[in-house]
Amino acid sequence: MGIKISDFGTLPDGRKAKLFTLANTHGMTIEVTDYGATLVAAVVPDAQGKSEDVILGYADVVDYTRFDGYLGAIIGRNGNRIGGASFMINGKKYQMEANENGNNLHSGPHGFDQVIWKAETDEQALSVSFTHHSPDGDEGFPGNFDVTVTYTLTENNEIRIDYRGVCDQDTVANMTNHSYFNLDGHDSGSILDHTLWLDADAITAVDAECIPTGELRPVEGTPFDFRKAKRIGDEIDADDEQIRMGGGYDHNFALRAGEGIRKIGEVVGGRSGRKMEVLTDCVGVQFYAGNFMDESSISKDGTPYHRRGGLCLETQFYPDAVNHENFASPILKAGETYHTTTIYRFS
């Protein structure tokens, strides 16, 4: 058990990254880097005691700048899309950089995923806390926002992520983690044989640019019904309007309401039987099946990743929530504390 710190390479602009390796006493290890406060690896035993790394990632920080896809990164201040790359707070319009079809995705080209965060380890808690000061106007958002993201590796083989922030003006606070999971091993091929359960009765229906229309569409009778565990590949290419919009699953699931942190999802690897449960206090989760991945990115083992080689379960407010009055609001009031928790539990 313990925390080890090592070098993780140098960025083209000279900034150096560090890698933090956390090991518990139950055979589980995780690696996180201060670049993007990114989860790089999670080595997890299966029922037979065979360990695999279930997180897609790269061997060196430079690869995180060469390949896109936000692998393992913390996304902020806002995860997912903001339509028209603009929004209003207190009657004032704010404009962000448009980086996808005139919209904003993952807070634009200079997001939290590219920051070198300040790191502090806690051996006792088996955690690393990353802090960052996002100045007024950063990414187009109002206010000075001070953020902390804490990764804790528990003795229950859980990765617990706590997101905290305080701002001196009303702003948008909606952070998430963009890890791609493959429970059979990060470079073991497609996730289509994984089964998924999600505690959601509806998705936020989207238009052709993946921006929510505002409609909460029931999953009943659609390929989006994961209320009974289902093989992901079964309906991922179904003849369905919403499936076409996302090129497969790339949708926000409106989670059933619940008090505090509750279990909202479960994924099981098709070959390994390795299981991951997802717990959160967030209202939504983006299930992205890696539809836009291709062979251009080279994994930490030197092999290319493939389309649908990993899946993301990004806990968050609904996409474009800042522009929809019927969605829970991602606006953080000045001086108040933003705090959300997501747990990925392996067994």
- Which residues are annotated as catalytic? 178, 314
8/288 with CB nearer ligand BGC: 288
Contact between 314 and 299 (Cβ < 8 Å): no
Interface ranges with ligand BGC (CB under 6 A): 69-70, 80, 210, 250, 286, 288, 292, 314
Least gap, CB of 243 to ligand BGC (angstroms): 13
Residues 6+ apart with CB under 8 A from 316: 79, 80, 174, 175, 176, 252, 282, 284, 285, 286
Whether the Cβ atoms of residue 159 and residue 72 lie closer than 8 Å to each other:
no
* Cα separations in angstroms, 105 against 30, 94, 100, 171: 27, 15, 6, 17
| Residues 328 and 174: beta-carbon distance below 8 Å | no
Shortest Å, Cβ 135 to ligand BGC: 25
Nearest CB to ligand BGC, comparing residues 80 and 280: 80
Cβ proximity to ligand BGC: between 69 and 330 the closer is 69
Q: Least CB distance from residue 28 to ligand BGC, whole Å?
A: 26
Residue with smaller CB distance to ligand BGC, 9 or 290: 290
Residue (20 or 317) nearer to ligand BGC, CB: 317
Question: What is the C-alpha to C-alpha distance for residues 280 and 259, in angstroms, rounded to an integer?
Answer: 10
Minimal distance, residue 277 CB to ligand BGC, in Å: 21
DSSP one-letter string for 148-197: EEEEEE-TTSEEEEEEEEEESS-EE-B-EE---B-TT-TTS--STT-EEE
Residue 271: helix, strand or coil by DSSP? coil
Nearest residue (CB) to ligand BGC, 235 versus 314 = 314
Decide whether 168 or 209 has the Cβ nearer to ligand BGC.
Answer: 209
Query: How much of the chain is in helix, strand and coil states, percent to nearest 5?
Result: 10, 45, 50
**Shortest distance, position 252 Cβ to ligand BGC, whole Å:** 8
Are 223 and 287 spatial neighbours (Cβ–Cβ below 8 Å)?
Answer: no
Which H or E run includes 133? strand 127-134
Write down the least CB distance from residue 130 to ligand BGC, Å: 20
Q: Least separation, in Å, of the C-beta of 247 and ligand BGC?
A: 8
- For 36, the 3-state DSSP assignment is coil
φ and ψ at 252, to 5 degrees?
-90, 125
What are the structure tokens assigned to 84, written together?
């028209």
